[in-house]
Amino acid sequence: MPDIIHFPQGIPGFESHHDFQLNVEEETHLAQLISQDDNLIVFVLIQPQAFFPDYLHTINIDEESLEVLKATPDSKIEIWTILTLNSTDVTKTTVNLKAPLLINPAAKTGVQMILSDERYLSRTLLFEKENYAQDIREGAVG
Amino acid sequence: MLVLSRKVNEKIKIGESIDITIVAVSGDTVRLGIEAPREIKVLRSEVYEEIQRQNREAATQTAIPEAFQKLLECKGNNLSNHEGVRPHEKDS
């Protein structure tokens, strides 16, 4: 049974959308986040650590976000990032590391937090290594 | 919109808890110092707008395309190694 996650502040660009269905596909580290107000609004999410092992080992969540998440000191907050797929060339898929989605599974609440860290970009190539990308291109065709 | 003129080192107070100081002016660049409670999010507007734009672009895709699913499957090994040593590190 998929979870409905409540985003009290909406998501930037979709501020009036507050409830999203989260469908996690465990094996691929992927998930879909579907707006309950408009099911054509669908985000494709990925667990960033699967691709970027050094991403956000420690994260300072601001107080406003903690409040929005109804987080307690014991809360285990999940981090997801939004993919922007490239329909003509999958190797150009980018991931938004600048603004991860934080989800508190216990309270079924979520927030998109914009990091002040300038190192993280909203358009980071998911497949950064050229040979790796080549490998994938062949795999995707075959 | 309220428009105020301020000199360097002068401040503007917003409500009880937010103070903005004009730190320096150089050409067309103004440096501001912002003192606000931790629960108030302070962002450059263009950063928020960039995230809005990025989200709108990302959300127009209605499903995970087959090709993408496929490439993740064929890269399954690489993905599942993220908690341990990466294979290519052993070669170097």
Q: In this structure, are residues A80 and A103 in contact, taking their beta carbons and an 8 Å threshold?
A: yes
Q: Do B39 and A63 touch (CB under 8 A)?
A: yes
Q: In this structure, are residues A33 and A42 in contact, taking their beta carbons and an 8 Å threshold?
A: yes
> What average pLDDT score do residues B11-37 get?
95
CA A50 to centroid of chain Cα atoms:
12
Q: Give the pLDDT of residue A58.
A: 73
Q: Give the pLDDT of residue B81.
A: 42
Residues in chain B within 8 Å Cβ distance of A24? none
Q: What are phi and psi of B70, to 5 degrees?
A: -65, -45
Judge whether residue A1 has pLDDT over 80.
no
Measured between CB atoms, which of A42, A53, A90 is closest to B59? A42
B72 — pLDDT class (breaks 50, 70, 90): low
Q: Give the pLDDT of residue A126.
A: 85
Q: Give the pLDDT of residue B74.
A: 54
Q: Does B89 touch chain A (CB under 8 A)?
A: no
Q: Do A90 and B41 touch (CB under 8 A)?
A: no
Compute the distance between CA of residue A3 and CA of residue B16 in angstroms, rounded to an integer: 40
Burial of A6: CB neighbours in 10 Å, binned 0-12, 13-18, 19+? middle
The whole-chain average pLDDT of chain A stands at: 84
Judge whether residue A38 has pLDDT over 70.
yes
Radius of gyration of chain B (CA): 24
Q: Do B59 and A43 touch (CB under 8 A)?
A: yes
Q: Give the pLDDT of residue A25.
A: 82
Length of chain B equals 92
**A59-104: pLDDT as tens digits:** 778 888 888 899 988 889 999 999 998 777 777 889 999 999 999 9
Specify the higher pLDDT residue, A64 or A16. Answer: A16
Cβ partners under 8 Å of residue B69, min gap 6: A28
Compute the distance between CA of residue A62 and CA of residue A48 in angstroms, rounded to an integer: 20
Compute the distance between CA of residue B33 and CA of residue B22 in angstroms, rounded to an integer: 6
Residue of A nearest to B66 (CA): A140
Q: What are phi and psi of B47, to 5 degrees?
A: -70, -45
Length of chain A equals 142
Specify the higher pLDDT residue, B39 or B30. Answer: B30
A7 — pLDDT class (breaks 50, 70, 90): very high
Q: In this structure, are residues B68 and A93 in contact, taking their beta carbons and an 8 Å threshold?
A: yes
Best A7, A9, A11, A52 member to test B by mutation, with max B CBs in 10 Å, is A11
Judge whether residue B12 has pLDDT over 50.
yes
Specify the higher pLDDT residue, B37 or B86. Answer: B37
> What average pLDDT score do residues A8-17 get?
94
